[in-house]
């Protein structure tokens, strides 16, 4: 009786519950899209875990496509507005969802996530990092980059200890003293190691992703830059590999419209094999060459044109044999018409001369910059 009286007092005869406003209907539709995106991405991770493989980028792509279509459909009906800061922006929401999924997935053995979410203001150019503690052995047979526009450069390194864990702002100097295992730039495709070769991440090590992101647009942008490791079994990684740069920091390119070069490298400290090469110059770079000199005789193992918007990895088939004491030299060519001299630096407006070498075996005590002078 008391409940009936209360309801009668609140819901008076003839007064119906108000109809949802167009803005409320829009919000409900967007919340539904978010829920489906989270469920869809976790389904992709679950499939990968069940198969013992890396997360399928095509699976994630289909989820993202449906999410964007649902947001667009909600907005097409009208009445949408920013109920909460950023809520009406599909790109910002997508990044938040990806961060949520990646954070949870990183805690699940077998599905490590190497990457992070970022947000940039108009014209912003900076480095951000993520360091993750790996509690189990990983045997990596390749890498797939699934990064969005705005991802300028990504370097993945290993270390036995870490000053910071999680997401934090950083610089290119974060890679100093660490073992390299992967690097990529704009339009860098998959890297699949030759059979028997791969990266062994040991239980207790730390993986750090050093990410250079740049926004050339006049509006804010966000993204989730990720490299997916292809996970194998211990028997798949008989020979361990790592990635180290050959090159130089001694760069000065005058703005005169004619070719100039920068060169750098090292002498091989042990016998090794070069499995793949990844040239990385910046906007004025035009050509990259790597030579190996044995007993005074140079051998050119890479000689390719370069453009900053297309930075593939070149597999060496068969792997290039390097003997102890051989000279490894990277040569970078530039043509500068910017109006000012280009020097080495970590901004997109500076220049670099690096050729990432995927080499085997791992050099004891080596680090990602041990062939850069």
pLDDT tens, position by position, 66-122? 888 888 888 888 777 654 444 456 666 766 676 566 656 555 444 455 888 888 999
Mean pLDDT in the chain? 86
CATH code reported for the domain at 112-239: 2.60.120.310
pLDDT confidence band for 242 (50 / 70 / 90): very high
pLDDT surpassing 60 at residue 11: no
Q: φ and ψ at 299, to 5 degrees?
A: -130, 125
Can you give the pLDDT at residue 106?
A: 52
Decide which of 3.40.50.12160, 2.60.120.230, 3.30.360.10, 3.30.420.40 is the CATH code for 242-372: 2.60.120.230
Which comes out higher in pLDDT, residue 146 or 340? 340
| Cα separation values, 312 from 64, 184, 192, 203, 278, Å | 25, 8, 13, 31, 7
How many C-alpha atoms does 151 have within 13 Å on its Cβ side?
A: 27
Q: CA-CA distance, 354 to 247, in Å (whole number)? A: 5
By residue count, the chain amounts to 373
In 3D space, the residue among 223, 271, 236, 260 whose CA is nearest the CA of residue 94 turns out to be 223
pLDDT confidence band for 146 (50 / 70 / 90): confident
Can you give the pLDDT at residue 195?
A: 95
Which comes out higher in pLDDT, residue 96 or 266? 266
Is the pTM higher than 0.85? The answer reads no
Please, which residues bridge with residue 278 across strands? Answer: 356
Can you give the pLDDT at residue 87?
A: 47
Can you give the pLDDT at residue 47?
A: 79
| Cα separation values, 207 from 97, 157, 161, Å | 22, 6, 10
DSSP per residue over 334-373, as a string?
Answer: EE--SSS-EEB-SSTTSB-EEEEEEEESPPTT--TTTEE-
Can you give the pLDDT at residue 198?
A: 97
Residue labelled with tokens 């970078």 = 332
């Amino acid at each position: 009786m008391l409940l009936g009286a209360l309801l009668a007092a609140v819901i008076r005869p003839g007064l119906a519950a108000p109809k949802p406003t167009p803005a409320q209907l829009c919000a409900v539709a967007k919340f539904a899209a978010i829920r489906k995106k989270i469920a869809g991405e976790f389904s992709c991770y679950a499939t990968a875990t069940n198969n013992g493989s890396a997360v399928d980028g095509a699976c994630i792509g289909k989820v993202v496509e449906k999410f964007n279509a649902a947001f667009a459909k909600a907005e097409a009906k009208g009445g949408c507005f920013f109920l909460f800061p950023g809520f009406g922006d599909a790109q910002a929401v997508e990044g938040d969802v990806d961060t949520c999924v990646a954070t949870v997935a990183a805690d699940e053995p077998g599905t490590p996530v190497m990457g992070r979410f970022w947000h940039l203001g108009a014209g912003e150019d900076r480095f951000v990092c993520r360091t993750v503690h790996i509690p189990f052995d990983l045997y990596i047979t390749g890498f797939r980059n699934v990064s969005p526009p705005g991802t300028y450069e990504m370097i993945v390194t290993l270390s036995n200890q870490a000053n910071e864990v999680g997401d934090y702002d950083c610089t290119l100097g974060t890679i100093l003293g660490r073992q390299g295992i992967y690097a990529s730039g704009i339009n860098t495709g998959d890297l699949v190691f030759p059979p028997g070769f791969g990266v062994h991440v040991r239980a207790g090590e730390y993986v750090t992703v050093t990410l250079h992101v740049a926004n050339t647009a006049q509006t804010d942008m966000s993204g989730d830059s990720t490299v997916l490791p292809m996970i194998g079994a211990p028997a798949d990684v008989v020979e361990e590999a790592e990635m180290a740069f050959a090159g130089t920091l001694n760069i000065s390119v005058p703005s005169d419209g004619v070719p100039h070069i920068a060169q750098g490298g090292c002498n091989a400290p042990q016998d090794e094999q070069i499995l793949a090469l990844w040239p990385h110059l910046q906007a004025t770079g035009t050509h990259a060459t790597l030579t190996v000199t044995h007993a005074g005789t140079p051998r050119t193992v890479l000689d390719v044109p370069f453009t900053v918007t297309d930075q593939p990895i070149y597999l060496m088939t068969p792997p290039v044999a390097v003997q102890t004491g051989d000279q490894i030299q990277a040569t970078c060519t530039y043509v500068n018409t910017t109006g000012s001299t280009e020097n080495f630096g970590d901004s997109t407006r500076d220049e670099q001369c690096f050729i990432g070498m995927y080499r085997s075996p791992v050099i004891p005590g080596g680090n990602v910059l041990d062939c850069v002078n």
